[in-house]
Amino acid sequence: MYPPTHRTTATRTRDRMRYDRATAHALLDEAYHCALSFVVDGEPRVLPTLHVRVDDTLYLHGSTGSRPLLAARGEAGLAVCVAVTHLDGLVYARSQFHHSANYRSVVVHGAARLVDDADEKARVLTALVEKVAAGRSADSRPPNRRELAETAVLALPLREVSVRMRTGGVNDEPADESLPYWAGVLPLRLTPGRPEPADGVTAPVPAYLRPARSAWLEPVALRGAHVVLEPLDLAHAEDLYAATDDPEVWRHLGSPQPADAAGMRRILAAYLDAQQRGEQVCWVQRCAATGAVVGTTSWYEVDPARRSLAIGHTWLGRPWWRTGINTEAKLLLLTRAFEELDAIRVAWHTDARNERSQRAIDRLGATREGVLRRHRQRPDGSWRDTAQYSMLAEEWPTARRALAGRLQRKEGAPLNAFGRGGGPA
């Protein structure tokens, strides 16, 4: 416990106060930034900055030229107050007076010292990078001598610490409970969006920046003799544009052919946004022999509860149509679905006019279930009828043997036409 002091003892709503270390540490660790307040020349100052907790010390990041860090060089350090707040919800009462917010906050008082020990400073800066993402310190360049000289760190012992929290619902007066106004709580959450790579980045988004989710929604890398499937990334846009720059590839697809790499990037961004929402699982296809990016494929309509999914959004560069790449890609995706995730159904959808794609799905061993009339809209605005196919778990062993046999017997023969619109449009 942190013993209450005159600066950490509440004068009102004391029932919301806590002083236990575990809660304070958890709230400090959950937050990425804080507000650092101090006094300079008799005037108050507040600076937003990053922080990291190491044991019972809070470290604050800053610049060597900033006023608080210059002031902290003295023997007594710098008197500061640090605040961290998590806003968890807005509370709507029937009366305006009782509107409120649910929150969790920590306030720390004390004297901060400037960290001048090189080893301690290096440990803290590494801990700060690791707080951003576990593993990031080994996946980025460490600071050089000049950068270290320009960076300062304040150390604040966690001694005067208080936690204040408000949870729960509406606290209306009994007389107001019959009023005809909506009342309740609007929860608020800080959630990460889709990572946006900087210009020129070719490395895929690292695993620690991808959200943890069901194995059904995770685009794990899959490797075969002909093709490697790796998680789709915006960094693949330029290579995908070059590989698929052919009107034949886009004839039956749901997106118009992109005019340049920027257009391809917009298509991939839409795919990755759908993946972020759990609506799609996206892979890029690489030639296993050369490493070249040659196409893409996806799962969609993923339903772990019903143990079903669909395969589509598949396009392949024309030079790779008459190879085993796309057939093996389907073999890899079906193997993962049926044998690793225990799926009971996999579906395909294709334009009813795309006879070549339908023959290709037939060759996979899927069963035609019928036609969905006016099911999707084409890029030109017309409505298409969609041929729907499926494969069930009990049909998979026979299909697997047939697909493996085709890859062994007819390497280099025309295997499928998914590059011409086998995926959903």
The CATH number covering residue 356 comes to: 3.40.630.30
Cα–Cα distance measured from residue 404 to residue 330, given in angstroms and rounded to the nearest whole number: 11
Q: Is 366 exposed, middle or buried (0-12, 13-18, 19+ CB in 10 A)?
A: buried
425 located within any domain: no
368-390 mean pLDDT = 93
Asked if residue 372 belongs to a domain, the reply is yes
Backbone angles phi, psi at 261, to 5 degrees: -65, -30
**236, 383: one domain:** yes
Q: What does the pLDDT read at residue 44?
A: 92
Distance (Å, whole) CA 149 – CA 228: 45
The answer to the question of residue 198 being in a domain is: no
Query: Are 224 and 178 in a shared domain?
Result: no
Same domain for 310 and 408? Answer: yes
Query: Is position 194 within any domain?
Result: no
Span between the terminal Cα atoms of the chain, in Å: 61
Give one DSSP letter per residue of 298-341, joined into a string. EEEEEETTTTEEEEEEEEE-GGGTTSSHHHHHHHHHHHIIIIIS
Is the residue at 305 inside a domain? yes
> DSSP 3-state assignment of 345?
strand
- Residues 56-82 pLDDT 10s: 999 999 877 776 666 777 677 889 999
CA dist., res. 281 & res. 268, Å (int): 12
Kindly state whether residues 178 and 115 are assigned to the same domain. Answer: yes
CA dihedral (183, 186, 187, 189) in degrees, to 10, reads -170
Same domain, 173 and 283: no
Give pTM, 2 decimals.
0.64
For residues 137 and 25, membership in a common domain is answered with yes
Q: Looking at the structure, tell me whether residues 181 and 218 fall in a common domain.
A: no
Q: Give the tokens for residue 386.
A: 């969609």
Shared domain for 55 and 175, answered yes or no, is yes
Question: Interior CA angle at 53 toward 197 and 34, to 5°?
Answer: 65
Domain annotation covers residue 394: yes
Is 252 within 8 Å of 292 (Cβ atoms)? no
Q: Is the pLDDT confidence value at 171 over 50?
A: yes
Say whether pLDDT at 187 is over 90: yes
Same domain, 278 and 409: yes
> Is residue 1 one of the residues assigned to a domain?
no
CATH code of the domain in which 153 resides: 2.30.110.10
Q: Are 415 and 327 in contact (CB under 8 A)?
A: yes
- Going from the C-alpha of 173 to that of each of 15, 166, 177, the distances in angstroms are 19, 18, 7
Averaged confidence pLDDT in the chain: 90
- Cα radius of gyration rounded to whole Å, the chain: 29
Beta strands in 9-42 (DSSP E): 17-18, 33-40
Which comes out higher in pLDDT, residue 37 or 13? Answer: 37
- Identify the pLDDT of residue 419: 32
The neighbour count for residue 330, using CB atoms within 10 Å, is 27
Beta strands in 73-226, from DSSP E residues, in sequence order: 78-92, 100-114, 151-157, 160-166, 184-187, 222-223
Q: Tens of pLDDT along 332-358?
A: 999 999 999 999 999 999 999 988 889
Tell whether 9 is covered by a domain.
no
Condensed to tens digits (0 to 9), the pLDDT of residues 283-338 reads 999 999 999 999 999 999 999 999 999 999 999 999 998 788 988 999 999 999 99
Q: Are residues 220 and 295 in the same domain?
A: yes
**178 & 99 share domain:** yes
Say what the pLDDT of residue 208 is.
86
Residues 216 and 107 in one domain: no
Where in 158-267 does DSSP place strands (E)? 160-166, 184-187, 222-223, 227-231
Residues near 161 by Cβ (< 8 Å), separated by ≥ 6?
Answer: 2, 8, 19, 21, 24, 106, 107, 108
Domain count within the chain: 2
Contacts of 16 (CB under 8 A, 6+ apart): 10, 164, 165, 166
pLDDT tens sequence across 246-271 = 999 998 888 899 999 999 999 999 99
Q: Which domain holds residue 107?
A: 14-187
